Structure formats: C-alpha cells, structure tokens
Amino acid sequence: MVKGKRVGIVGAGNVGSTIAYSLAMLGTCHEIILRDNKMEIAKGKALDMSQAAAAVRSHTVVSVAEKMSDLTDCDIVVVTAGSPRLPGMSRDDLLMINAKITREVVEGIAKYSPNAIIIMVSNPLDVMTYVALRESGFERSRVIGMAGILDSARMAAFIQEKLGYGGGQIRASVMGGHGDDMVPLPRYSTVAGVPLSDLLTQNEIEEIVQRTRKGGAEIVALLQTGSAYYAPAKSTAIMIEAILKDTKQIHPCAVYLEGEYGYHDVVSGVPVMLGANGVEKIIEITLDDAEKEMFASSCASVQTLIDTLNTNKFFEGE
C-alpha cells in the first residue's frame, strides 16, 4: 500500500471503471476519484467498488468528482474520456471529436492537479497524447500514452495460442503507434528467453504480427457494441503501479520524441523506464532496416494526424 496516493480517472466507462476496480483490488493507491458526465452511474460504480475494496480489506476509497475542480492534487490522472470506436470506424475518424474533449479535460487537469502525471488512453492514442502534452504545458516525462503494454500483451496472447505452451514466460515486444502501423518486434520477443524465431516459422510469426496489428478491431467486431476494456485497463494499471511504487521498470509507452530514434515533435511507442517522475528514461534499442522502415511508417501515420490538427488550426490561439 502506498500511503496517501491519489489517482484521478476521467471517463468512468468500461475502461475507466475497470482501471479503478483493478487499482482498488490491489490497494495501489489511497484514493481513486472518478469523473464522468454520467454522474449517477459514476456514483453507483464508485460505491460498488468501495464495497468490493472493503471485501478484500483494501484501504482504497473510490469517490466521484462532481466537477473538474474536485479532481485536485492527484498524483496521476488517467484520461479515457472520448467518443468510443464503433464497428467500421477507424481510430482516425475519432480525431477532431476526441482532440476537443482531450483539450477540455487536460485544461482542467493542469489547473487543479498541476503536478500530476497524465496517462492518456483515449484514441487515436498517440495524437491524443500529443494534444495532452501541448495543451497541458507539462514536461514530456509527465504525459504518457498507454498502448505498448496492451499491444505487447495481445502479441504474447497470440504467441501462446499459436504455441500451445509458455504461458507466463512470453515476453513480446511492440513499438510504434497504436494502430494498424504498430511495429511488433519478433526479434525482441522470447519464450523463457528462447527467441521466437527458434519456436515458430516465419509464416507463423507473420500471422501473429498481422493479428496483433488488428487486435483491437478483432475484439470490436466480436463485441459489436463496444471495444476492448479488460486488457487496456490492466495495461494502464500496470503503468500506474510502476509510477506510484517507483519501480523503474521498462515498459513500452507512447511518449513525445525529441531526437530519439531520429524523430522530433511526434509521439510514438518506445521502451521507457517508468518511475515516480513518470518517464525517467527513454530506451533506444537497435532496429534493423526493416524495423526502422516500419517505425518510420508508424511515425508518419501519427504525423499525418498532427498535420490534420494543424491544418484545422486546432492549436492556434494557445
């Protein structure tokens, strides 16, 4: 139990409420504050979770912020607020709608929790992280996008399904943007330290890579009325725990690049060390030519969305 730590969650839908539940069960923080436009639903979920926490003897209290000014002095604020991705809708379709929502939310965070670390979960993830960084004025170490842990977990699950063994020993690695241009890295993926290429054929690995890229869409198609939330929520909770407990663990996260991997003024998923100050170090791994090309393509996709925002004069008047 980390004493006195406070986590705000803006957006108490499936992802936000599952993050809160995961944290409450672990007793990771002292207080979780939910903020949502659907106030009564948020209050009901908070009450239910507080009782679940009591059942497992967790000290965590879950409450609701009736207005943004109630979300004060948080150590971390998670932003899941936004229009959901519906079947047939690309992440790009959400761009302008969610950029405006992100701006409004982040202005409130900067005002009422100016020392917080922001974790973005809203899609399109990489560009929403970029918007949050620009709008908050925070240093880049305190604005982090959740995607790499989720994409790596999806890849690991697909590897386990393909192999039929190795559960709990699979370390999959994914870089790049959270979308169809993500960069799964089989070369850096292992099962109990054994390289993936020693266990699967090139064709099998390529199947896993393609399925990983479409992992979110596969779940959207199956659910029909929404998108994934258990794995995204758990992935976010892992990041929160690493920050609050200052573990210095390395996880793939979306972060603003200032020359790393040769890129500037763009957000992309790269391995980072997470600690009490957020992103405390960006790890630059060696990429081969094919991986560099995929990473370039991924960064270009995010850049296109940033350019769209600039074309629509989104950042003017800051």
Q: From the CB of residue 255, how many other CB atoms can be counted at a distance below 10 Å?
A: 25
β-sheet bridge partners, residue 282: 272
For the question of residue 264 being annotated catalytic, the response is no
Which of 189, 206, 211 shows the shortest CA–CA distance to 198? Answer: 189
Q: Active site residue: 30, 59, 178, 251, which one?
A: 178
Q: From the CB of residue 14, how many other CB atoms can be counted at a distance below 10 Å?
A: 18
CA pseudo-torsion sign 20, 119, 251, 160: positive
β-sheet bridge partners, residue 31: 6, 61
Who contacts 26 (Cβ-Cβ below 8 Å, separation ≥6)?
A: 58, 237, 241
Who contacts 8 (Cβ-Cβ below 8 Å, separation ≥6)?
A: 32, 33, 35, 65, 71, 74, 76, 77, 78, 109, 113, 116
**DSSP 3-state of 146:** coil
**DSSP 3-state of 199:** coil
Helix (H), strand (E) at residue 206? helix 202-213
Residues classed as catalytic: 178
